[in-house]
Structure 1
Amino acid sequence: MPDDAVRESTEYGDGWLARRLGWAVTEAPPERYRHQIRTDLLDETLKLANISAVTHFAVAVVIPILFWDTASRVYLAGLFVVVTAIIGLTLYTNRLYRRIYADGVSEIGVARGYRMAAGLALALGLTWATMPIMLFAPASDDQRLIIVATAAGLISDAYVVGPLLSVSFLFAVPLILGSFVGLARSGEAIALSIGVLLVVYAIFVLASVARMSRLSRERIHDRVRVEDQGQTIGLLLNEFEANTSDWLWETDEAGRFQHVSTRMAQALGRTEDELHATSLAALLGGTAREEDEPEGDGATEILACLSGREPFRERLVAFAGPEGIRWLRLSGKPFQDRRGVFAGFRGVGSDVTASRAAEERIAFLATRDALTGLSNRAVFHEIAQTACRAAAQPGGRTKSLLYLDLDGFKLVNDSAGHGAGDALLRQVADRIRAITAAEPSAHGFRLGGDEFAILHRGPIEAAEALAQACVTTIGEPYWIDGVRAEIGVSVGLAHAPRDATDPESLLRKADLALYTAKEAGKGRWQAFDASLERRAQRQRELDAAMRPALENGEMALHYQPLVSLGDDGRVVGFEALLRWNRPGEGAVSPAETVPIAESTGFVIEIGRWALRKACAEATGWPEGLRVAVNISSIHFRLPGFVGEVEAALQATGLPAGRLEIEITETIFLGNTPNVIENLRRLRALGVRIALDDFGTGFSSLSYLTQFPVDKIKIDRAFVRDLIHRRECLTVIEAIMVIARDLSIDVTVEGVETVQQAELLRLKHCNSAQGFLYSPAQPAREVPGLIESIPLKGGRRPPPQASAA
């Protein structure tokens, strides 16, 4: 045995003897177990000592009686007295020890108990060791047999105090030595033979006692360890139940609850006594489970596992409690007793009502738009997919998609703030809910921003009526924080399976119809037809071809003359107009080109190109002729626009006073700081500003006082019916009065007849343009137009002064 093990065994309680019999001592236990093991070993030894005392007293009475006539009576009396005294002292100290340490034994108490037991055992062993020495030699053969048998029996008493090896050895070894000495004193051969046998017997007894002592230690060690582990497990379980939302449960073989926690009783809304009086199966079966079974309830599966004695894990169960449905998550598995017989179920449970409510809320939010509460885009695609699939089946009902986009929402959102915009969207959603509630076959969605959708199941006529109802209802005024807000809605309508058989195509075609509705003036609905798709395809083709066309020189500027309405009728300038001559197709109308370019932003590149090219070509014209270039509102709002103008003028050498930038009223809708700054910088530069299409927009007159412009161009709509409608001429007269007072030039567009030109001249309009004079012509035709146009107006240019 290693030295450290011997040292530990010494602390274990066997003292010096353990160092001599290390082979018989079990391996030292952990430090936390040693005191308890020593206490239990001493306790067992003291309990057995009471039984052993009775035996020793009986032997102490019988020996003097048997040897009273043949041995020294003084010795026999002394033997009786000493043995009786030791036995009495043993019983007394044993009782005293238990009384003193009834509430627990300290390490000092255990040490005292060990010393007490060792001293009494040694005293008793030495006393009995005198018996064979004093009685064997003079005894008769029969008496010798009694002595040998008595000595052998007393030696075997070492088994009784065997738990403490030192106590056993301190008692048995003196007795063995005394017996051997007594046999040896007789000097007889038979006695020596018996002595040898006695030694063999003693060795066997001592070895057996040592083994029994080791087994006792191991047994007590295992018991203490199991008890300690049981306490640890108990503490951990108590800590587990006290500090987590989970709790433990256990049933017997009949399914009745054997262990329930307070938290489990609280979760079920019952007392612990009520739960102990019922079974898990009855508890599960006591809740309505069939038609009323909540979605996700796993009670039926748990009942099947209980019946089949199979484990189950994390099954959700709904219980009807006093506060409503409570959701519990249960796990359990069967266990067996020591005989391997089924003894019941053990498991873990937790109340997940709150977490399930949170999960349901998350699931709701995952399918609902957070702002309006309508179904979101993800749900739209799922439902639309199912609807399109059903519509495509033979005999399937028509499914219609209404694609809604609010008109004027951006203006409200920008002017009143995003909070007002959100409130407006919520009110729109409420109206959509009211519309769909009146039409059970309709389902509303918010796709994002100010875009909504309604999926309708039913006849096309009903879907069209629903679209009109959306335009009417959503277009009614709104009140947001006491402020009136007015918006409209445009609706695109597409049908499955007539127009499309999948959600993406159906949405795309409804979008095309929506775009057409907005182009037609907004606040209306439009159904999809094949021409819209052809138009969209045409726009995609032109968009793809537009950029290379500009690079390859397919685009050019043509110039329409602006003619003075004075007596001379001369050309005062030209307006640069974009023309695209597409190979294989011919001329592409600007009415197609410009909206596409504006929607993609390519109009900015076209504007830069047109600005440079117009300035370059105008440098070859006679002095005094201006060139007007149309600039989109997108381009004009750029902070660097004035820099581009300056660069074009510097690169071409065209004087700033000969360049005129034409803009439309839409440029003022945003009223951004860049617009005002660019207008002022252009005026400071000497570039003229012309307001195109005047009179067709909103608040046109107010723009004349708010923004610096040099010219206004009256739209052709007023000229077309100038002869037949007196009010058109009245409007022009009013405009001219304002323009004269503000020192603003007036140009009239769309002049096609001499009569129109004469009326406009009489109203003192400054200039005109139109087919009466010339359509837009290539740059090479400009010199000819300058010469010929005064003749078309019925007047010749004034005679030139002689060079002389």
Structure 2
Amino acid sequence: MNFGSNKIKEVKSVRSFFDYTEQDDLDFFGDDTKIIFWSYESKTGEVTITGGLEKIYGFSSEDLPDDNLLKSFFGPDDKQGEDIVKQFLHAKASFDQEYRTVKKDGSEIWLKTKGKPVLDRNGDIIRINGTTRDITEKKQIEIELAESVTKYQSIVENGAQGVYISQDGKLEFANNQMVNMTGYSEKELLGMSYDQLLDEESIELVLSRVSAFLDGKENGVQEINIIRKDRSKIRVELRSSIIIYQNRPALMGTLLDVTAKTDALHMVNYLAYYDSLTGLPNRNLFYSTINKELETAKVNEQKLALLFIDLDQFKLVNDTQGHHVGDRLIQQVAAKLDELLRDRGFIARYGGDEFVSFLTYEDTAEVEAIAERIVTEVPKALSGELTVTPSVGISLFPENGEDINSLLQFADVAMYHSKRDDDRLQRYTFYHHAISSEALKGVQLTNALRKAIELNQFHLVYQPKVELGTAELKGVEALLRWNHPEHGNVSPMDFIPLAEKSGQINRIGDWVLEKAMRDMRAFEQPVLLNVNISAKQLIQENFVQNVHARLQETGFPAERLNLEITETVALYDVEKTMDKLNQLNKLGVKVSLDDFGTGYSSLSYLSKLPIDYLKVDRSFIRHLEADDTKKSIIKSIIEVAHNLNIQVVAEGIETEEQADLLHGYKCNLGQGFYFSKPLLFEDLLNYIGAGKSIAELR
């Protein structure tokens, strides 16, 4: 057969073609109109065609040469396609082949050629009838699909998440990251069951979730523990879905390693309930535990004693020997108190040099014996020349009160009475109603507070907040000061609690808010004004309305106001607190969580409360450069805060090394005496107005 040296005969219609070639097997070829029908006569080499020759190839039968027909259908370099067609012409059976060739204009196309030979009695070929169809679009889709499959297969195999497919509780597929996570090879993983990879708690969780998922219930995300080949554990987030795998339903899971994140969260959770310096429970855990004990004591009619412990002369140790010596002293005292009370009661560090303990008792002689051991044995446990002694105040439930606030208040009063006792052999006191001149002074100050605003005894100072790394001024914190004509400069630590207890904090807080807004409205730089808000202010029903009213009265921009709330907010109705904070956000007002790590917050609040800034307490900054534990805690706090899109502020920065460390940990803002002491507004205005930088305030 010599295909390529004979002329082509073109038939105009498909039906005419089939009549001409004596074919009635139209179904063999199909009814696609984008097709060339052809017939090749074996003896004469004549080719008869009809259909889309010009549409497919770009030329008509008149354009075809007489000497070499194949060269018209294939490019000069397309040896493979030409060989395929030559092979068809010698075939004695039906054939079906896809191949690539070029059009008249040189563009590439894909064709599908089908042929069916007609044989004589001897089995020799009389003719071959066939079709050639343009399948370029179909082929392009197939190529793109194949590329897509390759792409997504690569994503699954090399992605950051582990991926597995299981059927009947056995792993049928595991990607590379799954191999890395578990430490097993792919071969070892395939065929494994859940109980070989999970701990008992996670097995129950996964099986219950799978059962619920198969019942059509929502699956969601769950955290589980994977046991690696080396028996170590990692924490992962699991997401599951039902797929069809190898024609059967299967469970596909994706695993994200959250071990580092979980460890950081655990550390911050620990920080919320335990004191970082001593390891003792902090105020948060103390409040939580004693409230439960009080409820139990009420039900069981038990007696309970609360001991408030304070160290005499501790401030002198700090001032004369340095905070590092003071911290060591606190640790030694904590260790001894834990030893004395561990098996008898509960001991916590309340803050600074203060500790609190509670215990049940039958007779006050039991409580007196414990207090005696505290005041006599704690000083003996101190090393070196440290000379501090504890003073203990004791209140009794239900004799002195039935709630924690009353018991703490009375124990505190009793403790101050112990401090003034000249009898050095007895440094503990049981509360009774006539023991404390400090209580009288508290009453005097409380009464004086009511007139302090009218008598113009209050004033504000402003401490700059700067961007770490650049020392650029970003905000100021308004701080309240009270100059009393008899008592002199009264510490906010003394009068703020009195204002809260006497119900005057709201009126004073409103004065601070309005005064600060009026001052800072005159400040040309668009810095953030930070104002402290107590928990009692925040729980006012009309608190948000009051803030809005002050903004309107003063004309101060809401977006430049940042309200700092302490962790004590967690002691109140969290739902109402969240509602108020959301309302403040709608006004444009920003919110900070102040003194983080010393009080009552937990991760659940941190993630739920709509806050913009987290302010790390100064106790974690003090001696940061020499304390690896504090460094680790600070890093964790910053990491968790940033994961929640919360900026971090460090207060109490006193040295350049502290500032550099915090900047290296990516802490956003800082304040403290290293940058500037609190300034009168006039001094701040004059200093910045003169073009001087914050760095020059040092």
TM-score interval, normalised by the smaller of the two chains: 0.3 to 0.5
Rg larger for:
1
Higher relative contact order (CA 8 A, sep 6+): 2
State the TM-score, normalizing by the size of structure 2: 0.47
Indicate the structure with greater helix content: 1
